Amino acid sequence: MLDHHRPGLVLDPDAGDLRADFAELYAADHLQAELGARATIATTPGHVLAHEGGVGRSNELLLARLTAEDFAARRAAAPAPSRPAYETRELYATIALQGKHAMLPGVIEVLLDDYGALGGVSGYLLMAANCSQSGVQVAAYATLALRLQEITGRPVVTFGLGDAHLAFLASGVAATCAGVHGMSFQFPPAEFDELEEEENKTDEEDEEETGLGVYTYHPAILGNVGRLGSEGEPAREAIFKNQPCDCGHHRRDKPPQKKGEIVRHNSYAVSADARAFTSGDVLAAERKLLARAQNAERMRTFLKLSGLKRGFFAVSVAAARLRGGQDAAEGEGS
Ligand SMILES: [Zn+2]
């Protein structure tokens, strides 16, 4: 049981101002739970809000400030007891933001003001919730991430942006969480008992996917291949036959089988692509990504898969606009 778990209490950050004593305790317990789990990058509490610009966001900022104060008061930046001297710790501010809010006029500017001015944190965790992957939504997240980095000099990590995470890396966002399961972050989340069932399954029991399914990532399409289950098999067979994979976790010309093998393949392939777009300068990485995306679109057509989401292409457009580039007005998706 986590320290900040309050049995029976439903915390609704939009419902009203958090009581100061409750917020203090909540922030302290939250931090204790993370440091107790040996986090080297702790995060401030983050909640998916029903509205922006209201009491919910004030509560989030209060919790972030209180966590930062507690982090400093505990001198938590020093390595944990019995850990090596180089293993210093940091605190990142969590910004959970819904896609439909990110695209509203003014929301990004207010978040930049509020979180840019936050003291006592050394980076940001930007969690996209219910992002549609549309060009407008993804461009808004890209603008927030890149401008926060520019204004504060602190790194931003994004989470929940699906395949477009590669475009974030190419355009200079410090890090992304992509997951090896091809999952996207949905709110409300899956029920806990569903997740636990999923966790407790062995590879052998795992043929019938339920709850969180595991898609197969393939670099040739910059995303996941086909549907889950038998419906997706023809596409998986075809792409691995056409574009074999040398990850070593399965026969190179056959798709990985069962959850464990797929996860190991995904972990290799997603990391390899992340590395591919973080080496070299941003303009070169963006060009490389665009070339890969054009090939991916051809392969997707060949396999009768849907095209890359517009959001994928919106990141470099937003980045160019922030750099003051003249090419920014072209090719905007929605
Ligand atoms: Zn592989």
User: Lowest mean pLDDT: which of 112-121, 158-167, 173-182?
Assistant: 173-182
For residue 179, give every residue at least 6 positions away whose Cβ sits within 8 Å of its Cβ, in sequence order, or none.
none
Q: What local confidence, expressed as pLDDT, does residue 232 receive?
A: 84
Distance, CA of 270 to CA of 117 (rounded, Å): 34
Q: What local confidence, expressed as pLDDT, does residue 227 receive?
A: 76
Per the structure, the count of domains in the chain is 1
Distance, CA of 98 to CA of 102 (rounded, Å): 6
Query: How far is ligand 1, taken at its centre, from the CA of residue 127, in Å?
Result: 28
Q: What local confidence, expressed as pLDDT, does residue 69 receive?
A: 98
In a domain, 34, yes or no: yes
In a domain, 161, yes or no: yes
Evaluate whether 280 touches 216 at the Cβ level (below 8 Å): no
The whole-model pTM stands at 0.86
Confidence of residue 212 (pLDDT cuts 50, 70, 90): low
Q: Which long-range contacts (CB under 8 A, 24 or more apart) does 4-10 make?
A: 4/29, 4/30, 4/32, 4/33, 4/45
Query: How far is ligand 1, taken at its centre, from the CA of residue 251, in Å?
Result: 8
Mean per-residue pLDDT for 265-293?
93
Query: How far is ligand 1, taken at its centre, from the CA of residue 215, in Å?
Result: 13
Query: How far is ligand 1, taken at its centre, from the CA of residue 132, in Å?
Result: 28
Mean per-residue pLDDT for 282-304?
95
Query: How far is ligand 1, taken at its centre, from the CA of residue 292, in Å?
Result: 18
Examine the pLDDT at 27 and tell me if it is beyond 70: yes
Place of tokens 């973080």: 278
Report which of residues 203 and 152 the model is more confident about.
152
Query: How far is ligand 1, taken at its centre, from the CA of residue 247, in Å?
Result: 4
Query: How far is ligand 1, taken at its centre, from the CA of residue 262, in Å?
Result: 8
Query: How far is ligand 1, taken at its centre, from the CA of residue 67, in Å?
Result: 41
Distance, CA of 161 to CA of 130 (rounded, Å): 9
Examine the pLDDT at 180 and tell me if it is beyond 80: no
Query: How far is ligand 1, taken at its centre, from the CA of residue 42, in Å?
Result: 32
In a domain, 191, yes or no: no
Confidence of residue 34 (pLDDT cuts 50, 70, 90): very high
Burial class (CB in 10 A: 0-12, 13-18, 19+), 143: buried
Q: List pLDDT tens digits, range 215-274.
A: 899 999 999 887 777 888 999 999 999 999 999 999 999 999 888 899 899 999 999 999
In a domain, 173, yes or no: yes
In a domain, 72, yes or no: yes
CATH number at residue 60: 3.40.50
In a domain, 257, yes or no: no
For residue 228, give every residue at least 6 positions away whose Cβ sits within 8 Å of its Cβ, in sequence order, or none.
209, 213, 214, 215
Distances (CA, A) of 271 to 56, 58, 149, 220, 268: 35, 36, 23, 14, 5
Report which of residues 21 and 331 the model is more confident about.
21
Task: Give kind and range of the element (H or E) at residue 282.
Answer: helix 282-302
Distance, CA of 109 to CA of 178 (rounded, Å): 26
In a domain, 307, yes or no: no
Mean per-residue pLDDT for 98-118?
97
- Show the domain range for 115: 20-177
Mean pLDDT of the chain: 87
The 3-state DSSP class for residue 203 equals: coil
Query: How far is ligand 1, taken at its centre, from the CA of residue 260, in Å?
Result: 12
Q: Which amino acid is at 311?
A: G
Examine the pLDDT at 184 and tell me if it is beyond 60: no
Evaluate whether 88 touches 77 at the Cβ level (below 8 Å): yes
In a domain, 245, yes or no: no
Structure tokens at 221: 């399409």
Query: How far is ligand 1, taken at its centre, from the CA of residue 214, in Å?
Result: 14
Query: How far is ligand 1, taken at its centre, from the CA of residue 290, in Å?
Result: 23
